[in-house]
Structure 1
Amino acid sequence: MVSYKQIEASNALLNDATAPRVSVFVGGTSGIGQLTVRALVATGASLRIYLVGRKASEQRTRAFIQELRAVNPRADIVWTEAEVALLSDTKRVCEVIRTKEQRVDLLFLTAGYAPMGARRETEEGLEVAQSLEHYSRILFVRLLLPVLGAAAAPRVVSVLGGGLERASSVNVDDLDLKKPGNFTFIRAQTQYVAMHTLALERLAGENPDVTFVHSWPGSVNTGNVWRGLQGQDPNSWMAWFVWLVLEPVIRLVGLLSSSDEEAGPRHLFQSTSAAFGGRGVPWEGKPGVNSLGKPEDGLFLVNYKCDTTPNVKAMHVLREKALEKVWDHTQEVLRPYL
């Protein structure tokens, strides 16, 4: 485990020269994204942050932006409205950012929620949680690669479940879980995590100048479980299960993992430290190993302790069984928006 003192020491080195000058936070209006934005702004560095979120979150986000500007008047926070479950809106936002910025140093992706209850699809025909947690995130990376490539030490951090992949977690014959009986909360979440890791690993291999992190944050209660029940009967068995069982479990696990107060600084560390790939704020500790088990750049699966967890056995099986099918399928879904 990387101690919190080490985290604080590393983050204390962030300044105008070392902090990400331009960042894009997709889902930075709540939870891990918001906590990390707060930690980044608190460095006092001169920077610009694009906060991408839904119209419904605009009012409270603007209040959050005022708070950030009071903490650091040198921080330029740009509210950017988008419904990123829609790939068409994801494309629109990326085009806006690319017209305004010649480089992006950090792309931080957290939009998503637990896919509880019945399957729900966007107007584009994609299951909502899968679009948020996989397709939209990969599309953000693909469309922003030109400006990420222009940065000195570009980094993509996707917060979901890096290191939790299981060898049997991908149904290659039903990648969108559309067949009757295949869509359940556990099956969907484990499949989305593994698909996302495989696609990120492929992107990391094709873009060696960009550092990729797939982070598992442990338990931070962001309200995503309840968002997964939107449109469901509040008196349904699933709602009662969340209230009586799942939320207490989340709180208990949260006591055993890092606190909300630590989560922001820890994810800022993941976003800036040379512990992952050698680029970023200098790191004298043990270097992290990538998803191939090597102490070099690539994709890093990082847990809430900021330890890398390459998950070698499961990843070997997934590469052999599912990588090409997941990649081809993902590109087919994204093709109209590229």
Structure 2
Amino acid sequence: MVSYSQIKASNVLITDGPRVSVFVGGTSGIGNYTARALVSTGASVRVYIIGRESSEARTRAFIEELNAINPKAEIIWIAGEVSLLAEVTRVCGIIKEKESRIDLLFLTTGYAPVGAREDTAEGIEITQTLAYYSRMLFIVQLLPLLHEAENPRVISVLGGGLERTSGIILDDMELRKPSNFGPINGQIHCGTMNTVFMNKLARENPEVTFFHSWPGWVNTGNVNRGYEPNSKWAWFVWLFLEHIIELFGFSYEESGQRYLFQCTSAAYGGQGTPWNGKIGVNTMNETGKGLFLVNYKCDCTPNSKVVAELRQKAEDKVWDYTQEIFKRYM
């Protein structure tokens, strides 16, 4: 485990962090905490925060707070309903018009599918869109700008290291069968697809460092989303789960600092803030750039046997299926 004291000691060395960052889901939760940690370094940075239009008033107040913390930081709000892939394309178009490079793409949208299935207007179940399709489309759309940065990083926060070969349902990618849909199946399925798709991206884009990260327990509020008020799950969350997370989970500040470490440290890929500790190993069991599966302790968990089997059995199917969906929005 990388201790919190080590992480803070590393982060205090940041003088020139990611100059241009895009936070998809930065209006709350881990994206919000990480954006705050980045701006608090005092570095001259430009940060895009993307979220639903209904979050704008709250986010404007957050932006004012960030500007007070660091007047050198430029914070740009873009409203977008990114559960719709057409909106992802529109938002990426705005960023492409404004920027010539991106140093950091940070993806945290989504919540567990604990309620009834809900398809978007585009016909894809909403939690799967947020946890997988939307995130991967942001990466694909913004790759040209990532290639222009010196040390570009892409971080998808979901379930890195928790992949299972039996967890990905290749004959029902969108989990249409009722027996395949649910909080456990849905999370494992989307998490595994994140790793499979990003693993291929990492091999094809060796200049970019990719992360699929598992945050552990952090009280982001997402545990309260997606179910009917006064349902059994709502009562369970209120009576037990929120208190357990509060007791054993990371604080907002520590979560933000741990992700700032992943955004900047040379512990992953060899470039970044100087690091004298253990060097992370990617999914190819190498220390150079690639895809890093990082757990809540900031340790790399290559999950080598499972990832190798997924590369053989699932990668082409996941890639082709996803690209078939994306071609409507490119």
TM-score after normalising by structure 2:
0.97
CA distance in 1, matches of 2:206, 2:193: 20
Partner of 2:233: 238
CA distance in 1, matches of 2:4, 2:244: 24
Partner of 1:40: 38
Amino acid across the alignment from 1:295: T
Q: Structure 1: which 5+ residue stretches go unaligned?
A: none
Q: How many angstroms does 1:2 deviate by?
A: 1.1
Selected match of 1:331 from 307, 316, 323: 323
Selected match of 2:262 from 243, 265, 270: 270
CA distance in 1, matches of 2:311, 2:240: 35
For the Cα contact (< 8 Å) 1:161–1:217, is it kept in 2?
yes
CA distance in 1, matches of 2:242, 2:114: 13
User: How does 1:72-111 map onto structure 2 within 5 Å?
Assistant: 72-111=70-109
Q: Deviations for 1:241-271, whole angstroms, at most 9, x for unmatched residues?
A: 33334334433441xxx33221101100101
Selected match of 1:195 from 193, 196, 199: 193
Partner of 2:112: 114
Partner of 1:315: 307
CA distance in 2, matches of 1:325, 1:241: 38
For the Cα contact (< 8 Å) 1:26–1:108, is it kept in 2?
yes
For the Cα contact (< 8 Å) 1:116–1:225, is it kept in 2?
no
Number of positions where the alignment pairs a residue of Structure 1 with one of Structure 2: 330
Selected match of 1:292 from 276, 284, 292: 284
Q: How many angstroms does 1:93 deviate by?
A: 0.4
For the Cα contact (< 8 Å) 2:195–2:212, is it kept in 1?
yes
Partner of 1:250: 245
1:134 aligns with 2:121: no
SS at match of 1:49: strand
Selected match of 1:67 from 37, 50, 65: 65
Which stretch has the larger CA shift, 284-293 or 315-324? 315-324
Partner of 1:28: 26
Q: How many angstroms does 1:9 deviate by?
A: 2.0
Q: Tell me how large the CA RMSD over aligned residues is.
A: 1.2
Q: How many angstroms does 1:304 deviate by?
A: 1.3
Q: How many angstroms does 1:309 deviate by?
A: 0.6
Partner of 1:10: 10
Selected match of 1:159 from 157, 161, 171: 157
CA distance in 2, matches of 1:101, 1:313: 39
Q: How many angstroms does 1:10 deviate by?
A: 1.6
Percent identity between matched residues is: 61
CA distance in 2, matches of 1:82, 1:169: 31
CA distance in 1, matches of 2:230, 2:29: 26
Q: Structure 2: which 5+ residue stretches go unaligned?
A: none
CA distance in 2, matches of 1:328, 1:274: 33
CA distance in 1, matches of 2:276, 2:179: 50
